[in-house]
Structure 1
Amino acid sequence: MDIGFLGLGLMGSVMARNLAAAGHSVRAWSRSGGAIEGVTMVDDPTALFGAEAVVTMLSDDAAIREVVLDRKLLEHARPGLVHAVTSTISVAFARELAQAHAEAGVAYVSSPVLGRPDVAAKGELQILAGGPAAAIDALRPIFAVIGQRVWDMGDEAPAANATKIACNMMITMAIEAMAEAVVLTEANGVGRDRFFDLILGTLFGSRSYQVYSANIAQDNYEPGFKATLGLKDLRLAKEAAGEQGRALPMLDAVHGRMRETIEAGLGDRDWSAMARYTIEGR
């Protein structure tokens, strides 16, 4: 399959490499340049829209607006092209993208992913796909390489983005829950390893608890997903809640805690460093 790829950060670079290694023809553009084995780099992102499909993994709403909309890349799309945006973006911007693609006659799928760079490197991302069924089906050769499973979120693209934002919100709630539990248990002589062995073997055995309890137990917050990006996603969740006129008190709490974590100088650490801030205040 002839694929264009926009954005070669920690996630995008391994996704593009995996697609090339699987035998797809991949051309890519990145604002920061660089090179990926098996991937042909281009100087102008316009060139990518002559492909059968384009995958975008740029960092946020502003980056996608600047690269895709402001440069009017959709005007250069070949007939039949499908555009998959795998970034975590706001629900409001997803609606705007869906409208812009409809006006340009370009098929659009919101397909944010669950998984860190190590999961992406293994091609085991969980893909949340929202958009027309035919467009999602056209992307399945791509999804089969980068992901372990495609979760159908329905015909409306923004539904996938709302789901991804909700998932990330829940992960931060799990991190804060574990941190607050450690405050109680350590103060009463129960070590972190012993406590986490208990909860993982009984009440909370999900992947989020497995991954982030290990970070907390080892007091190791090497970045897999930076706290600054976590704060961005929590902001998107607050915006989505605000659109509905709803107050979400747990969301308010973790958003405030993540902001305090960054203000304490931990913005470049993994977002689970929020636990360190809760436990130690630093």
Structure 2
Amino acid sequence: MKIAWLGLGNMGSVMAARALAAGHELVLYNRTRKKAEGLLERGARFAETPGGAVTGAELVVTMLADDAALRDVLEAGGALDAMAPDSVHVSMSTISPALAQELAARHAARRVGFVGAPVFGRPDAAAAGKLFVLTGGDPAAVSRAQPLFEALAQKVLSLGPAPEAAHLTKVLGNFMLLSSVKALAEALDVAHSSGLAPQALLEALTGSVFSAPFYAGYGKLLVEQNFDRPAAFTVGLAKKDLDLAVSAARRVDAPLPTAMTVLDKLEELLGAGSAQQDVTAIGRFTKP
């Protein structure tokens, strides 16, 4: 399948590599060509503009940082105008449900399919093909993207025919993830300050009522207290995602008070210049 891939950040580059290894033909676009070099060595091609990448593609995958970046490649970059009728745009970025709803209508007017397909999982899960893909869109369009999903995901979960439903689920899931990281960090901090080894607490929790792999994975990072490692999910992106969840809640007058506590901590870290640190930096222990 001929796929235009727009966006080669921490997640996008790993996902594109999986698609390429599965035998798909990839034409890449990224603001900086350097991030594409490894994929080019394996047979992908590079386009100098988003519109150039999209021309002739069956699927167009966007994996970009935020709403503004997506609008930029679609509008100023010419990608939307260059999409062929009956092609399908697979929106895998974490974007606002409102933008997904708007784009669904704009694509339909051009006879282009639009599928919301954000993912749950960090880069290591992407590399192993173990992501969870959330889909929203016309069933025929979702079916067109299924070969791609098979290369990327351990499970595909349908949220129905509305692309914005998939993106709403993603931002609410990230709200829950970030809130859980903060709660776990606070518990580990109390243990550390009390003289109980944080690792012992983590093992007790994950060996009983908190056995989900999420707690073990993030708990290990929190216990290590190494916030200078390469970030899989940065403080800056976490703040953006939580803002999207709060915005979605406000649109329907349903408050997210827990989110505000986490936002306060993220804003504190941003003010300290920690935008590129891993989000587990919200769990720095109070005492050395």
Please name the residue that 1:109 is paired with: 115
1:183 aligns to 2:195 (yes or no)? no
Q: Choose 29-38 or 130-139, whichever is displaced more.
A: 29-38
Match of 1:266 among 269, 274, 279: 274
Query: What letter corresponds to residue 139 of structure 1 in structure 2?
Result: A
Question: What are the within-5 Å matches in structure 2 for residues 239-254 of structure 1?
Answer: 239-254=247-262
Structure 2: which amino acid aligns with 1:81? S
Q: Residue 231 in 1 paired to residue 239 in 2?
A: yes
Please tell me whether the aligned partners of residues 175 and 241 of structure 2 are also in contact (alpha carbons under 8 angstroms). yes
**Match for residue 61 of structure 1?**
67
Flag structure 1 segments of 5+ consecutive residues without an equivalent: none
Residue 160 of structure 1 is matched in structure 2 by 166
CA RMSD in angstroms, aligned pairs only = 1.5
Q: Which runs of 4+ in 1 moved over 6 A?
A: none
Does residue 9 of structure 1 match 2:17?
Answer: no
> Aligned partners of 2:81 and 2:274: how far apart in 1?
41
CA contact (8 A) 2:118 2:167 kept: yes
What SS class does the counterpart of residue 279 from structure 2 fall into?
coil
Which residue does 1:38 correspond to in 2?
43
Identity %: 37
| Distance in 2 (alpha carbons) for counterparts of 1:98 and 1:80 | 14
Structure 1 residue 142, shift from structure 2 partner? 0.5
Deviation string, structure 1 residues 121-171 (Cα, Å, up to 9, x no partner): 112111001111111111000111111111101110000011010111111
Q: 1:122 aligns with which of 119, 124, 128?
A: 128
Q: Deviations over 1:163-182 (max 9, x none)?
A: 01011111111111112112
1:45 aligned partner, one-letter code: P
Q: Give 1:72-151 correspondences, 5 Å limit.
A: 72-151=78-157
- Tell me the matched-pair count: 280
1:246 Cα shift?
2.1
- Structure 2 unaligned blocks of 5 or more: none
Partner amino acid, structure 1, of 2:14:
V
**Post-superposition shift, 1:281?**
8.2
Q: 1:62 to 1:281 in 2, by over 3 A?
A: farther
Which stretch of structure 1 is more off in the superposition, 146-155 or 176-185? 176-185
Tell me what 2:29 maps to: 29
Contact 2:193-2:286 within 8 A present in 1 as well: no
